[in-house]
Structure 1
Amino acid sequence: MKTNHFLLGLLSSCCLFFFAACSENNSGPDEARLQIRLTDAPNPDVKEVWVDIRDIQINYGDSSKWSSLPHIYPGTYDLLKLTDGKDTLLADATIPSGKLSQLRLILGDNNYLIMADGSKQMLTTPSAQQSGLKVQVHSDLTGGVLYRLILDFDAAKSIVEAGNSGKFLLKPVIRVLSFVPSGGIVEGFVAPDSVNTTIYALLGTDTIASTYTDSGRYMFRDIPQGNYSFHYYPSLDTFKTATLDVPVTLGQTTKVDTLHLELKP
């Protein structure tokens, strides 16, 4: 198998979406979380476009040092099933914080087209691109934040017929549409810390996320930006419930003043 088959090749309309409005981000203070999703736009002349994704690699600035992302989902994907807003998760990785320089995909050998007439055409990669097509990112990653990266893959321009040979070349055309944090972080403390307390984060009338205290401390990771109402429910019915207004800003950490639970009369 060719290990470096053109890499970022078919991140077709590659909506690398790192989204988790209500999901937990388990990265530490010096780590960020990156999710990669794959999507595409249809091509009327092609029925199926199958790409064999083996690896996803990142680079922090040293062109000779590429690192494979952990927790990727290698496999062969039909890009044309990923249309009309559909996507598929390629990676959900925790990586070191810092300035992410470049990203690339590594493909295997099993890349092919199913044409409108049902025939199968293998995709070959020009030798100049077998070492990988690099995508420039150059973005700072902050620890504890989940990021959403969107890459746009132009399938029509990336699949080229090789003259009159009847063969097709895979020459990926890809661009970064956006790379932004997908939410904010909230940290707080409830006293007395001996009372376990459940906290609900409401945006309007919708409950976006919930958590509970651990020795008084609590944290929400990666919740959407907005003005929230936090509702506190102590486990002991001798204490009153409480409510606080909490603003959440994209990509930032909000520290809430300590909430002191009050005893019921």
Structure 2
Amino acid sequence: MLIAIGCDKDDNSSNNATSSISIKLMDDPADFDNVFVEVVDVMVKRIEDNDDENGWESLNPINTGVYDLLELTGGLNVLLVDDFQIPSGELNQIRLILGDDNTVVIDGETFSLNTPSAQQSGLKIKVNETLEANIGYTFLLDFMVDESIVIAGNSGNINLKPVIRASIEANTGAISGQVLPTGIQVEVTTEVGTEIVSTYTDEDGNFVLVGLDAGVYDLTITPEEASGLSPVIIEGVEVTVGNTTTIETVTIE
């Protein structure tokens, strides 16, 4: 059965909904040979409160290690967190935790960077964003090195007092809907390039396909074989970045 069906945009989220976030680190040019920092963790705090030390959650970064920030310019970046799922809603802060292997190279000579706050409590970046359900977001952390490294007078100490600018972009959309009758297992699939993205309806017949690039998709709705019902194809469902497209209720026969 082939159906062309209308759809609309729906940004509402449920209490159990999640969003995915990725975090990339980049830098602006600066007048140093190299600036090496050791990233050991990336954390977020979802709710703003007066307790600065509790409520932090690790995002299990995939690319920890030592990076030369001056190589992360001109559009280059390092992916620290890749599509990590967190509850939708308020996101208050991001925190970079640094190790102790942080140095700056000036005129060929290497100096240790003093980063006490970064090692003890992390580099905290206020974001204050609301994450919509089922949407993927990328946070770009722009490490302003030229403003962050301070040479402390006659002491010879070189301190890292980070200035980081954070920007956010939604990078995917989603498709949701309801399939009737309920009480049977129904698979919903679509093609994203050469890959198949799929999900099953819940007990009420609802489904959400997440992580979809902007574009137009055809959905295949396949009931379990024992039901005796026929598959349905939904053509021309448009997805835009940052939105969930909700199709009209589909009844399979």
1:248 Cα shift?
A: 1.9
2:103 to 112, 117, 142: 112
2:157 to 167, 171, 179: 167
2:58 to 63, 66, 69: 69
CA–CA distance in 1 between the matches of 2:126 and 2:196?
34
Indicate the SS of the match to 1:124: coil
CA–CA distance in 1 between the matches of 2:149 and 2:92?
27
Query: Relative to structure 2, which stretch is displaced further, 189-198 or 246-255?
Result: 189-198
Could you state the TM-score of these two structures normalised by the residue count of structure 2? 0.70
1:34 Cα shift?
A: 1.8
Contact 2:23–2:81, Cα closer than 8 Å, also in 1: yes
Q: Which residue of 2 aligns with 1:222?
A: 211
1:49 Cα shift?
A: 2.3
Cα 1:248–1:96 change in 2 (3 A) is same
CA–CA distance in 2 between the matches of 1:58 and 1:213?
31
Cα 1:139–1:231 change in 2 (3 A) is closer
Report percent identity of matched pairs. Answer: 33
Q: Deviations over 1:82-112 (max 9, x none)?
A: 2332322222432233322222222222211
Q: Which residue of 2 aligns with 1:138?
A: 128
CA–CA distance in 1 between the matches of 2:42 and 2:241?
30
Q: Which residue of 2 aligns with 1:53?
A: 40
Cα 1:192–1:80 change in 2 (3 A) is same
1:37 Cα shift?
A: 1.7
1:72-151 superposed matches below 5 A: 72-73=61-62, 74-92=64-82, 93-117=84-108, 119-125=109-115, 131-151=121-141
CA–CA distance in 1 between the matches of 2:124 and 2:26?
19
Indicate the SS of the match to 1:185: strand
Cα 1:100–1:212 change in 2 (3 A) is closer
1:155 to 140, 145, 153: 145
1:214 Cα shift?
A: 6.1
Any stretches of 5+ residues in structure 1 without a counterpart? 1-27
Q: Which residue identity does 1:46 align to in structure 2?
A: D
Q: Deviations over 1:23-51 (max 9, x none)?
A: xxxxx943322221222234343234233
Any stretches of 5+ residues in structure 2 without a counterpart? 1-14
Aligned length: 228
1:179 maps to 2:162: no
Q: Which residue identity does 1:143 align to in structure 2?
A: A
